[in-house]
Amino acid sequence: MFSANSAVRRILVSLLIGMLIGVAVGEIPFIFMRETARPPKTVEIVIPLGTADRVALGEKPPTIPENMIFVVGDLLVVKNEDSVDHKLGPLWIPANSSAQLPLGQKENLAYECSFQPGKYLGLDVREPLTVSTRLYGILYAGIPMGILIALYSFAFPTKKKENASA
């Protein structure tokens, strides 16, 4: 049978192993989600001079991506340096002016866009990845894994200590 000391030691080691697995499971995806691990900020898109001409020829403006990832609370500012008025979803941006779009909730948007050859701009608004979110992920994966490891460890017998005085 198990002594109480041995059982407690197995449980603690199992929980430690489970938490290490939780760190691996929780932090590896974080490497790929770094763009949302920040507080909300102002993001500016600049429509350069000559963009309307490039789009008319089917060319993509070099400084404007087709899809963008944002965090809830970001403020998108579109600055039009072109000589032609442009449109992005609900925004009308006259030549040599700017417009703002607050991004207040989690959603995937595909806005009609006059400064892209494909005539749309994808906006992916995500919840910010905070330290508490990361810790919850580690705990929710690590603790159950540790408990399972502890339960499985009790299925294997322990080595009996040889009595040195015998």
Domain ranges of the chain: 4-33+130-152, 38-126
122-150 pLDDT, tens digit per residue, is 999 998 877 888 888 888 888 999 999 98
Nearest Cα to 47, choosing from 37, 60, 35?
60
pLDDT at 83 over 90: yes
> Are the C-beta atoms of 163 and 24 separated by less than 8 Å?
no
**86 φ/ψ angles, rounded to the nearest 5 degrees:** -130, 165
4-51 pLDDT, tens digit per residue, is 788 888 889 999 999 999 888 888 877 776 677 788 999 999 999 999
Cα 81 from Cα 93, distance rounded (Å)? 10
Concatenate the DSSP letters of all residues of 127-166 into one string.
----HHHHHHHHHHHHHHHHHHHHHHHTTSPPPPPP-TT-
Q: Are strands 86-88 and 91-93 parallel, antiparallel or unpaired?
A: antiparallel
pLDDT at 154: 82
Which amino acid, one-letter code, is at 145?
M
In this structure, whether the domain defined by 38-126 belongs to CATH 2.60.40.420 is answered with: yes
pLDDT, greater one: 35 or 107: 107
- The encoded tokens of residue 84 equal 């032609």
Cα 156 from Cα 146, distance rounded (Å)? 16
Average pLDDT over residues 106-120: 91
pLDDT at 72: 94
Q: pTM of the entire structure?
A: 0.65
pLDDT at 1 over 60: no
pLDDT at 81 over 70: yes
Cα 142 from Cα 123, distance rounded (Å)? 33
> Are the C-beta atoms of 108 and 124 separated by less than 8 Å?
yes
pLDDT at 107 over 70: yes
Angle CA 71–72–74, to nearest 5: 70
